[in-house]
Structure formats: structure tokens, C-alpha cells
Structure 1
């Protein structure tokens, strides 16, 4: 095993997708597709505009979400998951399956 394989990735992963809002944002974009800011905010109950902006910027910085600006008047901005973000879909599905099994 190499030195890099000995490092536990959990803290890094939790930093990237943890917290109250990041999972909700990723879930919406992974399962519902590309969304504009307002639609995404309506999709996530209780999130403020400021918090959504901060979390989207963090997810974008980590390469999980991309922001596309369209040169229109008024400007249109859409958010979608990157290929790295799409790779989390099986993780969400596994968490959902686990949750259903715990409810029994």
C-alpha cells in the first residue's frame, strides 16, 4: 500500500460535501439536472440566498458544480454538476437504500 492509500479520505470528503446544505444542493442538481439559482433555492427548503451563494461557490471551487453564465439581458446563470459531481450519484443512491433499510 502506498503512503497516499494509507490516508483516510473521510475528512477531505466531509469538507467537500458535508454540512447542512451541500448534500441538498448536490442531490437537487444530480437528480433534477441543471437549475437556475432561483429554482435551486425554491427546491431547498429553508436555505437563504446568501447561504446558497456561499455553498455553490464552495462546491464550484471543489470542482463538483459548474456555473454557466449566458450573455443575455438580464444575465442568465445556470448551475449543474460536473463529472466529478455526477460520480456521487451512486453514493446518494447507497445512502437512500441504507436509510430505507433502517426504517424497517
Structure 2
């Protein structure tokens, strides 16, 4: 098995940048969405869609849709961070190709 690590010289963002970006997204959510996100991502225990849905009388599919909406908001509002990192990652990968193994 081949394991490769690609090191990138990318701009680092402070913890404060991440906190501000996260607060920005959460401040735009309804309380129910915040509660659902906390149940799914904010605990050590993995909470299933069905279990979250029971608390709100919603289907597992509706819970999934709400979580996708939250993730999309986070990505959209933080696009500059994701785009910069991804661009640098691709440049590094093109300049210095790394063998990829399918032997898992």
C-alpha cells in the first residue's frame, strides 16, 4: 500500500477566522436548524437522522435536507477559504504528481 502526503504552502487562517466564519453561518440559521446541527455534529455520540427526526416530528429525509442546507451555507459563506486551499492543492498535485494506490 502506498501512502503519500502532499505538503502545501498555503495561507493559514487563525482560529479566530474559523470562529467568525462559523458564527456567521450559525447566526443565519433558525433555532431548530441550530439544534439539529448540534445533535448531528456537536456530540461525541453519532445521532442518526431517524432519532433527530423523532424529536421534531420530521422524516429522516427532511433532517438530511436541513443538514445539507446548513453545509451548503457554510461552504458558500466560506468559499474563499475552500477555493484557495483547493486551487493550491490542485497546483501541487499537477506539479508533483503522487502515486495513488488502490491497494487498501
TM-score (norm 2): 0.35
Larger RCO (CA under 8 A, 6+ residues apart): 2
Pick the structure with greater CA Rg: 2
The structure with the largest strand share of the pair is 1
